[in-house]
Homo-oligomer: A and B are copies of this chain.
Amino acid sequence: MQPEPAQNPDTVAGLGEFGFIERITGGRPQPSTTLLGPGDDAAVVAAPDGRVVTSTDVLVEGVHFRLDWSSPEQVGAKAVAVNVADVAAMGAVPTGLLVGLACPPTLTAEIADRMTEGMWQEASRAGVGVVGGDVVSAGSIVISVTALGSLQGREPVTRSGARVGDVVAVRGRLGWSAAGLAVLSRGFRSPGTVVGAHRCPQPPYQAGPEAALAGATAMIDVSDGLLADLGHIAVSSSVAIDVWAERMEVHQRLVDVASALGSDPLHWVLTGGEDHALAATFPSAAALPPGWRVVGTVKEGSGVTVNGRAYERPVGWEHWR
């Protein structure tokens, strides 16, 4: 509420608000969907079919990431990835990102630049640009990203369309982030594949629109854990879902890590969050797009079971619970 004195030029305070915004958005190539990019009161993004898909996620230092566990690039990339995955889970392609960044004035410009670089790298991987944002000072780092997307004329694939007799399928990695978290929590830094998976997910963005085209009846981004997120589909669709444990892909790397730590790799796969794979239901006659793996079926009733029985261990987790 009061101006603060100019500070060290190597910090974001030294860059100044407008200087920092320029570092985030200046000189970056924007896709054709960006009709008016950063620099005005608001941006303008194309919404070719007259609708826009939109979602917001907030990442907090110490809660969603730790800068001693992840590089600034990985933190920036993760903030983008978790949001674009939500858009993909509706069957949409991303068209724009807005970034709200709160951080201490003492954050070094180097870390801020690297975080920004990670955001743009992941945005580029998703074919989208950062069209606007805000940077403010705060006691710790809070990154809020809003993703916009286009359904390209299709109906959104919601959580509520699963029908009895549909198959349940997944696309993308499951359990890897949980394995990486388990490794990091014990003070280890390797194996790099699972640790990297925790530091930044690799959602299969294009699989969302592909599933929509193939007739997916319901879809969700697996952020809380497969069983928990299938539970959201079951509730919204008023159906039961049974998962076949033997159909789940348990990668040898997860088996090895679990063995070393005395953990259960299947538990990571069934309940681990933050991988941002996609889970969807399809009519049983549908031809699934490449990479999708059938892991269960939709039945009458309610709730989620594994091999027909209740899963005994906690599934997923809520913030604060």
Contacts and interface: CB of A to CB of B under 8 A. Distances in A.
Contacts of A7: 320
Interface stretch (A143-151, A164-172, A256-264, A289-297): A143-151
Interface string A215-232: 000011100000000000
Interface in A24-74: 35-36, 39-60, 62-64, 66
A143 to B, nearest CB: 9
A312 interface: no
A47 B55 contact: no
Contacts of A58: 100-102, 134-136, 142, 144
A140 interface: yes
Contacts of A200: none
Contacts of A133: 56
Interface stretch (A83-91, A119-127, A243-251, A301-309): A83-91
Given A13-B320, A100-B144, A136-B319, A63 B18 contact: no
A158 B39 CA distance: 9
Interface in A238-278: none
Given A52-B52, A138-B142, A40 B100 contact: no
A204 interface: no
Contact of A321 (B6, B44, B132, B142): B6
Given A102-B60, A137-B63, A138-B60, A55 B42 contact: yes
A132 B1 CA distance: 29
Given A46-B50, A319-B136, A40 B90 contact: yes
A54 B131 contact: yes
A148 B146 CA distance: 11
Interface string A147-164: 111010000101110000
Contact of A156 (B44, B105, B148, B185): B44
A92 interface: yes
Interface residues of A, number: 85
A53 B158 CA distance: 24
B51 A43 contact: no
Contacts of A77: none
Interface string A1-31: 1111111000011001110000000000000
Contacts of A102: 58, 60, 142, 144
Q: Which 10 A-B pairs have the closest CB atoms?
A: A47-B47, A144-B144, A42-B55, A17-B319, A13-B320, A41-B89, A58-B100, A100-B144, A146-B146, A56-B98
Given A39-B159, A44-B52, 13 more contacts: A1-B64, A1-B66, A13-B320, A36-B156, A41-B159, A42-B156, A43-B54, A47-B47, A56-B132, A57-B100, A60-B136, A63-B138, A100-B100
